[in-house]
Structure 1
Amino acid sequence: MHLPDFEAWAMFACVVEHRSFSAAAQALGVSKATVSKAISRLEARLGTALFHRTSRRLTLTDSGRALADQAQRILAEGQAAEEQALESARAPTGLVRLAAPMTFGVRHVAPAIADFMVAHPGIEIDLHLSDARVDIVAEGVDIALRIADLPDSSLRARRLSSVRSRVVASPAYLEQHGVPAHPAQLADHACFGYTNIANATWTFHGPGSEVAAVRVVGPLSTNNGEAMMPALKAGVGIARLPDFIVDHEIETGELIEILSDWQAPPVALHLLTPPSARRPARVELLISWLSERFRNICEASGNRRDSRTTAD
């Protein structure tokens, strides 16, 4: 039996990550020649080229792209195995890369990781905030928080909380343009677009199991929900946004929820990790911390507001 050339696979993964033989060699603390020989050795064993090399560019071949994710998993599993063994004898240390949606990240994730770092001073956090979907394997992310109806994938997903969306507008807008009584009427209103979702059709489930779908248009499109708030408050249009963005404004009366008998398709807050089952202790600690902190967080917020509305 021939054992895999684990060193060459790991160096291949490092070159893919750093997009350069020289940068990979520097990161690994070895010579560029050592990295080059390892890649040549792996290519000879596989019988295929992994990179196109020119004097100015280094790009993956089709075979290289097909094998890159597997190489990164091999490297990650090896690092995790070593770190797990080492961390059993000492307090967890090192870097955790975390990705989260922009508004939820600023309002909830940033305070959570501040508390986490106080409790675990040896752990560093690289927090990436964006509403765009992150390829956590390709970008080397350890944990991602995502608010979505997740498609099937090889990622490991943990559902933390359902997230309810509400259709809202300012009192001034509704006074000037009227209050829609049915989702179909939104087609005649100025509705803000969320550009991270290509489909401009809003779907609703209503009374008596009725389903309504309406294609919306409007004067504002943006890739971040909170960026809609100034235009919403100014009476420019209507938006469909999650509870955690609009709760306060609904409570203060700056925004009014409309079509409350109609629900958007359910989405949830998920915690995602790469497919490998083996993770460093520092990553496991942050997973546990975030899971506990955010379990049912959006449901609890919505329930509190609904109970206040009922009481009123």
Structure 2
Amino acid sequence: MASDQLAYAPARPEGDTVQEREDFRLPQQRIPAPAFAAMAGSGAAGLAPAPAKQPLPPAQPAPIALPDAGPGTRLTGVPTYDPTALAPAAAPSPAPTAVPEAPIAEPAEPVTAAVPTLPAPADPGAALCARLLGEVAAQREAAARAEREAAEKAAAAQAAREAAERRVREQAAAAKAAAEEKARAEAEAAARAEAERLERLAASYIKPVVSCTLGAGFGEADPWSNLHTGQDFAAPTGTPVHAVHGGTITSAGWAGAYGYRVVLTLDDGTELWYCHLSTMVATEGRVTTGDTVGRVGATGNVPAPHLHLEVRPAGAAPIDPLPWLRAHDVTV
């Protein structure tokens, strides 16, 4: 582009002419037409239009400092030197050829294209830190997962052990309960059997001495010329003597000519006297049929070991024991 700015502008005296100004103007720079057309095309393709050309302010005379002059001395007016001496003589320039100016196209509307937003380049340090933090988090998660799995396995094993122990305890408790139930049933059965036996015994009568020989009978004269008041059952000393029927022991001890005697009172009031005993086994309390009340002996006035049995209904005078026993289904 051509410029009106003076490359070198010495001060002009007042009243200078156009010719004089032309003498001080440097050759004007011109831009070839192809380059100008290319610049115009580029501006039309999307470059911002050039700002409008503003008029230049009027040129002011430039002061010239002279080394020989004193301080503050300035020279104005027409110089005394030849301006043509500033450059060597040159051949006259050919007349400038007018270059037609290319029309300036109006700036087109800027084309707004959708430009993809590229991610900002990641900071290598931040990326490394993020990767390390990710690895640490992954390691922690793996450790926590392994710990959870180990805890779950331990809990499962503990639960299995507890279940096994619980099953063992339940089986042991069931076996114990079954054993206790069996023992209780057996005890109840035994108790029922015993009760039935005792009931039968209580309802029955037995011989006072199982293995024995009948001796002197009721009403016979004894060696002391007295009537015999009972029935003798001869047996060795120490042979067990049983309760003929259930009742209560109302007397036990030494009875003179009867020796050691135990008195058994039945529920109907009948008294049974067991005499000449060597040992008294039951001396008080309740007895049932078949219980041992004493042992055969020879205490008192007797010639040999035997049991002297007397039967006294309601505690009165004695009666013959054999008919009484037979009346209660006892075989003698």
**Alignment TM class, shorter chain as reference:** under 0.3
Q: Larger helix proportion, structure 1 or 2? A: 1
The structure richer in strand per residue is: 1
RCO higher in structure (CA 8 A, sep ≥6): 1
Q: Which has the larger radius of gyration?
A: 2
TM-score under structure 1 length normalisation: 0.21
Relative to the length of structure 2, the TM-score reads 0.20
